[in-house]
Amino acid sequence: MKKRIFTIALGFALAISAVTAPLTVTATESKQKRPTEMEINYAKPIQSNEIENWPQGPQVYAQSAIVLDIDTGATLYAKNIDEELYPASITKVMTVLLAAENCSLDERVSFSHDAIWGIERDSTHIGIREGEVLSMEDCLYGMMLESANEVCLAVAEHISGSVEDFVELMNEKAIELGCTHTHFANPNGLPNKKHKTTAHDMALIAQAAFKNETFRQVCGTLNWTIGATNMSGDERHLNQHHKMLKSNEPYYYEYAVGGKTGFTKAALNTLVTFASKDNRNLVCVSLRTNGAQYYYDTAKLLDYGFDNFKNREVRSRGYKGDDLLFPSIFFHTECDTSCDTAEQYVTMPKGMKLKELTTSTAVDNGRITCSYSLGDVPLGTVSTTIPATMRNISLADSAASRIVLKEQAALAETVADTPQTNVFSSSQTSGAMKISLFNSLQPWQRGVLAVLVVALLFYLILLITSLRRAWRRHKYKKRREAAAAGTRTETKTADASSAAETDPTADETSAADNETDRNDDGTFTSEETNTADTLHSI
């Protein structure tokens, strides 16, 4: 009986295991094959790699990443740069920028109850007490180095009177800088569903911040000490959190000069990094990466930006290599605007020449701006002041263009009302088309065309002058040859006459010989002559 029960139990167990084993294997295999969020992000496409003739950028684990040239504003690397994500503490880049622009470093900032208790207690802070007073300089280092959230609230109240008004100022500044997908809800980056930005917008904010001398000094500092205050006799030592700036860290990057880290559970790791090499300045923004991987990603992206691109300085007068700016604007003028465009650059892939880029010009308030692009990708703009003489010419040209356009419109209405097919109307239409074609040219193109026409006329004048000179030389040569021939004939005649005068005997002898020799022509011979002489004597 026991043996039968044991057999039934064993069979039942085997049946259950046979049914559940495939399900367990399937669940395990499914769990192994399911990629992580970082792996999914790594495989996402890179939009900048789709640009024709553009250097191919590396794959990174960040969900969104960008490399921007600070000097020209050119986007060198783009991966989901317009996707709205949480920025976390890199929000403080904007907060520090506004504080540097609106305050002096020695201003005193008082910490209110709301500033101290308006943050989550487990968020980063430097232990400031209610009623404590710090200098604005200490506040800037507290926000950038230690990412102190209570300091952000106190600075916001100091500048705008309330955090809400300061947040409005942040959003206005973002719009001013060209941000299109950014909305700030607080000055420190703590979690808020309405607090979002994009990699591209954050790069624009970082670009503006890096151009502020105070911000550059603060974001690149490794250590700072806050001295004794009105409520604390102890020193507070602040340390840089960005490990790519520290030479003793494995993530150290020799060209990094500043940056800001960020982390929340909702945003994961975010990072802004500034780097300088060979007189070039880049900023890299990485959003939503897990752990220290964002340091490796940032190093790869910065190397890509430095190794594959170059900055070309554009001059407004004359050539510098293959670079020429506004060729028709400064023809026949003595102005020198080189200093006006000094240190203005265009970013382009290495091996590419400036003339291969697309350019467009615009004139506003006496300045002309030339924008360079590769396809639809802007690579930089250069602007300079238009000389007064050329400005007057430009205004006159614009007025003339408007008159021509009015005449063309009137002509078009006349042709539409009274259609004609004769040769005269055809010539009028052809002339109008030529005028329209000329007016469709840009000012610098018309200038180049005018110079070419002048050069052609000058060449024709030189050619005609040369031909006339050649014809004159030919006629002069003929006259000289004729005169020389006449002189030679007169010389021969004169020689013959002089010879006859100097030897008359020879002529008489010659005549006698001629008479003696005559036999057949009826003249006397020499014997007959002698006989005649004898008879004459008798």
Contact 142, 96 (CB under 8 A): no
Q: Spell 484-493 as b/e; 16+ CB within 10 A means b.
A: eeeeeeeeee
Answer whether 290's CB lies under 8 Å from 268's CB. yes
Q: Which distant-in-sequence residues (6+ apart) come within 8 Å of 68 by Cβ?
A: 74, 75, 76, 203, 204, 206, 207, 282, 283, 284, 285
Pull the structure tokens for residue 290. 């897990």
Q: Which of 392, 390, 414, 394 is nearest to 402 (CA)?
A: 394
Are residues 478 and 486 in contact, defined by beta-carbon separation less than 8 angstroms? no
Dihedral of alpha carbons 142, 238, 255, 308, sign: negative
Tokens of 100: 């540097």
232 is catalytic: no
- Residue 92 among the catalytic residues: yes
Of 48, 64, 79, 89, which is the active-site residue? 89
Cα–Cα distance measured from residue 270 to residue 289, given in angstroms and rounded to the nearest whole number: 7
Q: What's the rounded Cα separation, in Å, for the pair 238 and 302?
A: 27
Q: Which two tokens stand for residue 386?
A: 């238009």
Do you know the residue count of the chain? 538
C-alpha torsion angle, residues 117, 121, 126, 132 (rounded to 10): 20
The one-letter code for the residue type at 299 is A
**Residue 373 corresponds to which tokens in the numbers above?**
């692009």
Distances (CA, A) of 355 to 47, 317, 374, 448: 25, 16, 11, 16
- Residue 212's CB is within 10 A of a number of other CB atoms, namely 15
> What type of residue sits at position 56?
Q
Catalytic residue among 92, 173, 196, 260: 92
Query: Which is the catalytic residue, given 48, 64, 79, 147?
Result: 147
For residue 147, indicate whether it is catalytic.
Answer: yes
What DSSP string runs through 106-153?
Answer: T-EEEPPHHHHHSS-TTS----PPTT-EEEHHHHHHHHHHS--HHHHH
Nearest to 92 by CA among 57, 56, 124: 124
Please report how many Cα atoms fall inside a 13 Å half-sphere around the Cα of residue 468, on the Cβ side.
Answer: 6
Phi, psi values for residue 234, rounded to 5°: -90, 155
Q: Are 183 and 131 in contact (CB under 8 A)?
A: no
| Nearest alpha-carbon partner for 283 in 232, 215, 352, 329 | 215
d(CA 184, CA 167) in angstroms, rounded, equals 6
Alpha-carbon torsion 213, 219, 225, 231, what sign? Answer: positive
Q: What residues act catalytically?
A: 89, 92, 147
